[in-house]
Amino acid sequence: MLTYLLAFILFAVGLYSVINKRNLIKIIMGVIIMEHAVNAFLILVGYRMSGEAPIVEEGVSISEFLSTAVDPLPQALVITSIVISLGVVALMVGLAIRLYQHYGTFDITEIRKLRG
């Protein structure tokens, strides 16, 4: 249970950054930390005590493999999620750079003031 709680705390740190910080780069960092926390949580759910990677080795019987391998499905989905998060981060940073060129600051309150 403590392990799930640690993943939850990591998510909370990211959420704090997204809500509370005024700097666009800090907000992007908060989103990245939240993505990491969710990925870690999904892998933790699929873990089995003293489990091994789901890779079939030669000379290991199928029943033995079934009783030691960890859950492969969350891993496959998390790999997808990690790669997509990279694309999303690139898009967010692109938006931030464009805003910086336009307004000369990363501060979101300044950007709101300068509208028009």
Partner 1 sequence: MVLIQVFLVFAIIAALVAVEAPSALSSIISLGAVGFGLSIAFLWLGAPDIAITQVVVEIVTLVILIRATIARGVTEIRGNESKTLLIGSLILFGLGSAFFANYLSDFPEFGKSAMETFSNPASQFYLKFGLDKAGGPNIVNDILLDFRAFDTLGEATVLFAAILGAITLLNRKVFVDSGEEKQ
Among 87, 112, 115, 116, binds partner 1 (CB under 8 A): 87
Length of the chain: 116
Q: What angle do CA 102, 106, 112 make, to 5 degrees?
A: 70
Residues 43-62 that bind partner 1 (CB under 8 A): 43-49, 51-57, 62
**Interaction between residue 86 and partner 1 (CB under 8 A):** yes
Least separation, in Å, of the C-beta of 115 and partner 1?
13
Please state the φ and ψ torsions of residue 18, each to the nearest 5 degrees: -65, -40
Nearer to partner 1 (CB atom), residue 93 or residue 113: 93
Instruction: Annotate each residue in 26-45 with x if it binds partner 1 (CB under 8 A) or - if it does not, as one string.
Output: x-xxx-xx--x--xx--xxx
SS3 23: strand
Residues 92-111 that bind partner 1 (CB under 8 A): 93-98, 100-102, 106-107
**Interaction between residue 114 and partner 1 (CB under 8 A):** no
List residues bridging with 52 in a β-sheet.
69
List residues bridging with 23 in a β-sheet.
107
List residues bridging with 30 in a β-sheet.
none
